[in-house]
Structure 1
């Protein structure tokens, strides 16, 4: 069944001081998306970058979510950190609070939380961690949604607690026949047309082609294009154009009509 509205999200503010991640194209990508996941300082980002990212989102009319990760600036949050559930939850609360302060300065509210990188993947397979994390998120702001993979432990925990789960479709990642993501350490440059075609197929028919040549059903509420993927700006432009040409509105989840 074709979607008439879809959220387009991207990870923003993933630079640190003078160092820029990816193409450094945040200011050009931001107006093209509907939801921004802003790095909160542990895997990337710093106070100045958070402040500028929030300001850019406000100017572009983009909804904002916190993008907390492991305390791993050197590894960009892609390395698993061995820590207790309590410590990891406290680390995420600290990061969410930092971004909430910058949003408050701009008179904005936070739409969602999306864990980053290795933390996202750890939570996807760890129900205890997901439950503890989402219980803390609920106490911080009951209205916050969580971005996650459909069928993941995070998704199941959100359903159990009554937290709104925004299921993601990854435009710039390959899918296996199992429906899981095929992660690679080094992303090559992707064809903007191929990515736009992939997203349109998913939005129009609820299908995705896998790396082994199968076509499987996929369920999702938001399309993610990572800003650190080479050529992310071109991928986002092509995808947005293809969706709009197909009559699909790009809109943040909190602005969708209630079901």
Structure 2
């Protein structure tokens, strides 16, 4: 969320925020600007939504979706810099940053290179040991579990498809997902810890958090369908602090 900047608008933050318990907020590198960061943090605080930094690579033209040749120290510094910026806005609004979740190509780079992943996690711990790290696939989750003192939550996806190895097909569009199908996948992950991969195979996804992309033009429709299922199955939504 908070991925608008200047005269360019992205996402449906005002409409989406009432439905969620945690928000991944851009911090100026792949998207956002200082004014949007302040407004998004204030919106999250107004709705009692947990604030997370969504750090990306310094590539606004590519929306942080193009991989870069960067060292572990450099990637760690990118995350630290953006975490610091969002933390300042959170403190200004009388709240705090709850979690860290890398964006786009940065996420893919961490998934493919455990040295990069460890560097980022060490950077997070050096700033605040209470921060929760949202692990977006099993490669990152396994690295996080080996990091002493790091609070980690595994995150599942219902508006993207999985490969059989539990990696995400991030190149696909999230715009044309059927709300009922997405809601069914939410229930499957939340109650059984499984989901159907793109090839039809049932795979384990031991997630305690579910991501919905706020830039999807149909995000509210998806969230409406999910909340109907939450009521139907008597599920509870809680903050990441409660499960980390």
Q: TM-score range by the shorter chain?
A: over 0.9
* RMSD of Structure 2 on Structure 1 (CA): 1.5
1:159 paired to 2:148: no
Q: Which has the higher contact order (CA 8 A, sep 6+)?
A: 1
Q: Write the distance in 2 (CA, Å) between the matches of 1:195 and 1:187.
A: 11
1:98 paired to 2:85: yes
1:9-33 CA deviation, whole Å, 9 max, x = no partner? xxx1011122112xx3101101100
Q: How does 1:27-46 map to 2 (within 5 A)?
A: 27-46=14-33
Q: How does 1:189-228 map to 2 (within 5 A)?
A: 189-228=176-215
Instruction: Name structure 2 gaps, 5 residues minimum.
Output: none
State the match for 1:83 in structure 2.
70
1:17 paired to 2:6: yes
Residues 40, 233 of structure 1: CA spacing in aligned structure 2 closer, same or farther, 3 A cutoff?
same
Return the structure number with greater strand share.
1
TM-score in terms of structure 2 length:
0.95
**Partner of residue 36 from structure 2, selected from 30, 33, 49:** 49
Shift of the alpha carbon at 1:77? 0.5
> Is this contact kept in 1: 2:132–2:240, CA < 8 A?
no
Q: Write the distance in 1 (CA, Å) between the matches of 2:29 and 2:204.
A: 35
Shift of the alpha carbon at 1:185? 4.7
**Partner of residue 144 from structure 1, selected from 131, 134, 149:** 131
Aligned length: 243
Shift of the alpha carbon at 1:150? 4.2
Shift of the alpha carbon at 1:186? 3.8
TM-score in terms of structure 1 length:
0.89
> Is this contact kept in 2: 1:189–1:230, CA < 8 A?
no
